[in-house]
Amino acid sequence: MNTEKEIKRITTKALSLLKKKGIKITALTAYDFITAKLIDEAGIDIILVGDSLSNVFQGNETTLPVTMDEMIYHTKAVAKAVDRAMVVVDLPFMSYQLSVDEGFRNAGRIMKETSAGGVKLEGGERVAETVRKITQAGIPVMGHIGLTPQSIHQFGSYRERGRNKEEAEEILNDSKIMEEAGAFAIVLEKIPASLAKKISESLTIPAIGIGAGMHCDGQILVTPDMLGLNLEFHPRFVRHYAKLAEKINSAVKKYV
């Protein structure tokens, strides 16, 4: 029996089942209809309309400039293409940091206008009340801890988080707080594999890793990175499953 193939539509309940059965969850980003359709048909479990579109789609240095209107615009396109995967949307910078109520309203706006399946926000204890209020309204929330790109100016670099005891304990505590607040899953970004393993084993909700080792309940990557569309950007944890930049360049040269 292949549980994953039997699931016709990925929901929070389905993701919980995959964790219980030890089946790795797969997640990728998409910002447009065609990419979303292709990766959905390939069997991806979660499609994240990430604020990383600020970097890879708009050419910005950080995720901070992207707006609510832009996230909604891209999510509408993605949601139209998807039949099976769960579509999750990043709440962009300053759409939930000012107050619990503002985060609640913006999460509701995304769900109402895009047909997405849930939202994602960054932070642990400091956003717990926001997560709690959003989930109480029936909106699925994915957490994100460890390296949180919206806080890059506070961190000062994209280095791995949780390498010292104090940071590791804070991240572990944040993971438990997010689960208690009602998050259906949590992203662990750029933390030691040993810490990610400990968190994954201590939570009942799925822990999805990016640069956090192989012991998580699943993995997420930025699609243009794993497809090799930007060969100048190659984090150590990203495997190039293709080198599409070279293929596109070659195809265009044949055309011209």
Cβ neighbours of 164 (radius 10 Å): 9
The verdict on whether 102 is a catalytic residue reads no
Cβ neighbours of 70 (radius 10 Å): 17
Nearest CA among 73, 66, 67, 91 for reference residue 141: 91
Residue linked to tokens 């992203």: 187
The CA distances from residue 142 to 183, 246, 255, in Å, are 5, 35, 43
End-to-end CA gap in the chain: 50
Tokens matching residue 234: 């190659």
Beta carbons of 136 and 182 less than 8 angstroms apart:
yes
Catalytic residue among 6, 189, 232, 246: 189
Q: Which residues are catalytic?
A: 189
